[in-house]
Structure 1
């Protein structure tokens, strides 16, 4: 019986416009009411998930969990709004600077730097600005490319680059990995980002780390996703689940491929039709 669901957000739980299908809300509430844990497992900051937790009715749990930054942090959130970072896997400033510099392959590269509590964006694109707005993601724009200010900020979690041309994203990946492949884990997400975490930090290992804390064995853990940054959790979970709109590589590695897309209530399909069967 599945007791822990790790779910990606964008293009998995959320509709394309950033909202949540009402079927998903009803199904998640039923699953939690029956004693399960529904945990967002996202590349985003945990702070950007507060609205999603509220929409799902999970902000009223005595303890709710979020896995953020592609496994960079596990956060415990209390019903009074309090939060506690219980696990973090960050990177040092010098590594962040190297990734940032190598990724600037052309003038229109949009770059995100996540610390444990803040998203900083350099050279934000119009498309990315709209994407952030739709998902109510808070961020601070950087005035220039000098990253020295980060020495006064909290732990750096990851560096990612945004561009709508997949060839540009691949070129960034190749350029960074040519020098730093032994230090970074590279993933792609949302058909617009290439992401770099420190080696050893991924959605799968963090998801199982949380499961162990909760006393839940691997075979009672399910992970739902759609894109390449979900591969680690799809492989790690007892049941790896791909939504219908998932990339072919994710469908191939999943134990179960759903018939519904993110826009059709895929999470509800899994909870209602597959858990316990």
Structure 2
């Protein structure tokens, strides 16, 4: 099988734990892209936050190269950051999720619009984590969301807390409020519980991009490590877990790399399936 596209999670998959890129990953992505291969970051983050990374990979402002952002809520061509597809969340739903998920004063909440990230009650650990990733945001001083009337469309709402039990409680509170049939709920980075509009996920967006590019499902590889990567890995022709992936991801994947994210797992995949013999 000739693979034409790799959709890749970033944190704990493509990136090292400190937010840097393993040099082997940089070089293999450059080689593959030079041959017309599509390396597509498929991330929960904004496309705005990955521009520095794209520059390192020679993918910045490039025609025919793409980023999938916000867990599948937006597909963007790198050239001029042209948005080619969005699946946004109704404002009333975003407000309802925000209110329901703030179950205690230690929870912080992110609201992503197409071009901005707003955070209420940002925790010290979250602040440090975002700094290592170069993520810019606007800090909200109050829970008043009336300003969002001028900031749409809304891509997703997520909550941060270090305790998994608290994240489960947030999940339950939001689902009780809006209904399981209204949202896609996932966990990521051992700190976030994320909410997108129902039907929006990394896998659906990967197949949609493939369809727009004339790339078949069997020609798409997907690699990830965490809960919000499961549908992407299931959707792809070849689903891959990094060695440090959670158990559910390893069980879903067709193969598991021998390398972790800190050891250049993406380089391993590209050398095995794309840069064969080089």
TM-score (norm 2): 0.96
Gap change, CA 1:276 and 1:134, over 3 Å in 2: closer
For residues 130 and 54 of structure 1, the distance between their equivalents in structure 2, rounded to whole angstroms, comes to 23
CA pair 96-255 structure 1, distance change in 2 beyond 3 A: same
Q: Tell me the distance in 2 between the aligned counterparts of 1:241 and 1:178.
A: 33
Computed over aligned residues only, the root mean square deviation of the Cα atoms, in angstroms, reads: 1.1
Gaps of 5+ in 1: none
Equivalent residue, structure 2, for 1:53: 54
Alpha-carbon separation, structure 1, partners of 2:90 and 2:119: 18
Unpaired runs of 5+ residues, structure 2, are none
Q: Tell me which residue corresponds to 1:212.
A: 211
Shift of 1:154: 2.4
State the shift of 1:177 in Å: 1.0
Map of 1:267 onto structure 2: 266
Match of 1:247 in 2: 246
Question: Which position in structure 2 is the counterpart of 1:155?
Answer: 153
The aligned runs of 1:22-171 (5 Å cut-off) are 22-59=23-60, 61-78=62-79, 82-171=80-169
| 1-structure distance, mates of 2:166, 2:27 | 40
Query: Could you tell me the TM-score, scaled by structure 1's length?
Result: 0.97
Q: In structure 2, how many angstroms separate the alpha carbons of the residues matched to 1:74 and 1:60?
A: 14
- 1:5 partnered with 2:10: no
Aligned residues: 274
Decide whether the 8 Å contact of 1:117 with 1:154 is kept in 2.
no
Q: Distance in 1 between matches of 2:129 and 2:175?
A: 27
Partner Cα distance (1:182, 1:62) in 2: 37
Per the TM alignment, residue 151 of structure 1 is displaced from its structure 2 partner at its CA by: 0.4
Following TM superposition, by how much is the alpha carbon of 1:62 offset from its aligned partner in structure 2, in angstroms? 2.8
**How far apart are the structure 1 equivalents of 2:157 and 2:139?**
14
Aligned to 2:195: 196
The 8 Å contact of residues 164 and 191 in structure 1, kept in 2 or not, is answered as yes
